[in-house]
Structure 1
Amino acid sequence: MTDEVPAVTYPSGIPRPVFEPPASVPELLVLTGMSGAGRTKVAAVLADLGWYVVDNLPPHLLSGLVSAHVAGDAQRRLAAVVDVRGGEFFQDLDPVVDELETQGVPVRVLFLDASDASLVRRFEEARRPHPLQGEGTILEGIARERDKVAAVRDRADLVIDTSALNVHQLRDVVTAEVADEVPELQINVLSFGFKNGLPTDADFVADVRFLDNPHWQPELRPLTGLDAAVRDHVLASDGAAEFIDGYSSVIHDALRHYRAHDKHSVTIAVGCTGGRHRSVAIAEALGAALRERGHQVRTTHRDRPLS
């Protein structure tokens, strides 16, 4: 007769079977802290960095989450947002983290904090009550929460005070702490025809209808800007080289500041009349110029006819 698997009972009285992790287990980041300190923003940052993020998870389900993640996509790092919204289950967090660590699961606890004044201001600006406010004031709710999270804050691996941080600064701090590498800005240079309307997702729009139009050359009309004859015709047009050099320089300077404003992708739209000749050739040339400046770029052509 085999021995039964021992069970771990947490303070809430909910027994969970002991989780035995395989040789390779993804890192688990427990994101917690004061309500209003920025958990939602940080969870979004983690997701953008490729983490698998689960929000508002009762602590006693963490071992099951790790087990299921290992069986699925164990290459992605795992983050769980745990906070006082879980009610009495929040008190389970300390023993659950201890148990996971004894079982070989690498766990880090990230605690977000802020001054009482900052938290009160944020709740008032958002026009919503503190989750522990009840019939009292926001400040009373904050005080109750501080009592509940004190032990977790003390054992946290990293505490970030967000009082003086805007959303962009908070993202930078978190990225510096948890990212293996910062994802590249995704740049798409898109050709289009004005007669078919502006692209709805364009961040920059360039009009190249000032260039000589291959449409009026009978031998070029059935071709597109991806064909060498059309490309050479467009790039030899008066002003084409100057436009590509000047516009790529302006775009390069702008892109250097995009990360500071929490932008992850940018679409640069290049338009001509029909989106077939000039815009296609210039979009390809602009993409090449930006690659030479160190950017990762893809080019797409919205209105070019399929071959």
Structure 2
Amino acid sequence: MPKSPDPKRILLVTGMSGAGKSTVLRTLEDSGWEVVDNLPLSLVEQLLLTPLSTGATSRKKRPLAIGIDSRTRDFDAQRIVKQIETLASDYSYPIETLYLECGGAELLRRYSETRRRHPLAPDRPATDGIAAERELTEPLKRLADYLIDTTDSDPNALQQQIRQRFGSAEQSPNLHIMSFGFARGLPRNADTVFDMRFLKNPHWQDDLRPLTGLDQSVGDYIATDEAYEGAVSQMETLLLTLLPRYFYEGKSYISVAFGCTGGRHRSVHVAERVAARLRKEGFSPTVEHRDLGTLPRDEIELAQRAEMEE
């Protein structure tokens, strides 16, 4: 008996041109799927039967999405149906089919706005190509396990629908917590930045200056600031409100940065505290302290203090 397939789930994405196949495939890829688009039909079975190379074991757990539409070489809906049935029966492949439908008037509007030519009517009105493709893909529509009508959906709504229906529970967004020093510049690609320079500065305590925000005594000193608990608690509450919204909107990478003057004391302590709170709430942040290894310098602290007092 043939061995079980490497991908635990295989999704064939097809339907009307202009109905959102590219959006669906991009969303699936961002959700951790392996994606192949417009592969010639003669190569589909070869793709599925080709074993993964040594060292690619992590890909075995990734679901596979294959995009096929009327632009695919040797496209034949009836033959695709038979091929799927054969693979499912002979090799026990878990193949599902998603068909993207869209009303003719809406497809015509989309082609008019983008000034694209319909693949089945390059030298004729788009309405001719839409009608021909609807008839051509009817066998796949009847076969489909999932049918999504995008007539009244914008790309963002379609992305959310795909994430909810096909998103992998194991694939979570990458949450990055960083500390940094303003004296050495803002970090690149930070989505949210919190300024910790309003808190008491351990740099001016002789016994704390050589230490960092990872040391308990530094954290204890910072926590004596009367504004500390209220401000940091509100930051945590804000992030717990925002992060699920970012994830829902499809952001794959989220970076939250905490800054102080040198990036060694206040920002480090707060970043560690907030990361611990987020872990407690079920998130899995990675933590980076960009400027932790720099030497404490009075001139930098004085310059930043003067700048803030201006």
Identify whether the pair has TM-score above 0.5, normalized to the shorter chain.
yes
Gaps of 5+ in 1: 1-19
Cα distance in structure 1, aligned partners of 2:250 and 2:165: 17
Maintained 8 Å contact 1:31/1:39 = yes
Output one character per residue of 1:159-180: Cα deviation in whole Å (capped at 9) or x when no partner.
1111122333323332343345
3-state SS, counterpart of residue 258 of structure 1: helix
Output one character per residue of 1:54-73: Cα deviation in whole Å (capped at 9) or x when no partner.
11111221111111255654
2:16 alignment partner AA: M
1:262 alignment partner AA: G
Q: Hey, what does 2:249 align to over in structure 1?
A: 261
When structure 1 is superposed on structure 2, of 64-73 and 204-213 the one drifting more is 64-73
Q: Hey, what does 1:82 align to over in structure 2?
A: 68
Cα distance in structure 2, aligned partners of 1:120 and 1:260: 30
Q: 1:182 to 1:105 in 2, by over 3 A?
A: closer
Deviation at 1:147, TM superposition (A): 2.2
Output one character per residue of 1:224-259: Cα deviation in whole Å (capped at 9) or x when no partner.
111222222222223111111111112212223223
Deviation at 1:181, TM superposition (A): 2.3
Q: Hey, what does 2:271 align to over in structure 1?
A: 283
Q: Hey, what does 1:102 align to over in structure 2?
A: 89
When structure 1 is superposed on structure 2, of 277-286 and 183-192 the one drifting more is 183-192
Q: 1:199 to 1:90 in 2, by over 3 A?
A: farther
When structure 1 is superposed on structure 2, of 155-164 and 168-177 the one drifting more is 168-177
Output one character per residue of 1:187-228: Cα deviation in whole Å (capped at 9) or x when no partner.
222111111111221111111111111122222222211122
Q: Hey, what does 1:162 align to over in structure 2?
A: 150
Maintained 8 Å contact 1:245/1:289 = no
Cα distance in structure 2, aligned partners of 1:74 and 1:186: 21
2:74 alignment partner AA: E
Q: How does 1:55-94 map to 2 (within 5 A)?
A: 55-69=37-51, 73-91=59-77, 92-94=79-81
Superposed CA RMSD in Å reads: 2.3
Q: Residue 304 in 1 paired to residue 296 in 2?
A: no
Runs of 4+ in 1 over 6 A off after TM superposition: none
Match 2:201 to one of 192, 209, 213: 213
Q: Hey, what does 1:292 align to over in structure 2?
A: 280
Cα distance in structure 1, aligned partners of 2:95 and 2:60: 15
2:129 alignment partner AA: G
1:93 alignment partner AA: I
2:190 alignment partner AA: A
Cα distance in structure 2, aligned partners of 1:161 and 1:64: 31
Match 2:182 to one of 194, 203, 222: 194
Gaps of 5+ in 2: 296-310
Q: Hey, what does 1:42 align to over in structure 2?
A: 24
Cα distance in structure 2, aligned partners of 1:47 and 1:200: 25
1:77 alignment partner AA: P
Q: 1:253 to 1:183 in 2, by over 3 A?
A: same
Deviation at 1:306, TM superposition (A): 7.4
Q: Hey, what does 1:228 align to over in structure 2?
A: 216
Q: 1:180 to 1:258 in 2, by over 3 A?
A: closer
Output one character per residue of 1:246-305: Cα deviation in whole Å (capped at 9) or x when no partner.
111122122232233222332111111111111111111122233334433232111111
Cα distance in structure 1, aligned partners of 2:95 and 2:182: 53
Q: Hey, what does 2:114 align to over in structure 1?
A: 126
Q: 1:75 to 1:186 in 2, by over 3 A?
A: closer
Q: Hey, what does 1:178 align to over in structure 2?
A: 166
Cα distance in structure 2, aligned partners of 1:285 and 1:101: 51
When structure 1 is superposed on structure 2, of 219-228 and 176-185 the one drifting more is 176-185
Maintained 8 Å contact 1:109/1:157 = yes
Cα distance in structure 2, aligned partners of 1:38 and 1:178: 15
Output one character per residue of 1:5-52: Cα deviation in whole Å (capped at 9) or x when no partner.
xxxxxxxxxxxxxxx731455332111111111111111222223221
TM-score, scaled to structure 2: 0.84
3-state SS, counterpart of residue 61 of structure 2: coil
Maintained 8 Å contact 2:27/2:159 = yes
When structure 1 is superposed on structure 2, of 271-280 and 285-294 the one drifting more is 285-294
Maintained 8 Å contact 2:41/2:74 = no
Match 2:137 to one of 134, 145, 149: 149
Cα distance in structure 2, aligned partners of 1:208 and 1:30: 50
Q: 1:74 to 1:182 in 2, by over 3 A?
A: closer
Q: Hey, what does 1:30 align to over in structure 2?
A: 12
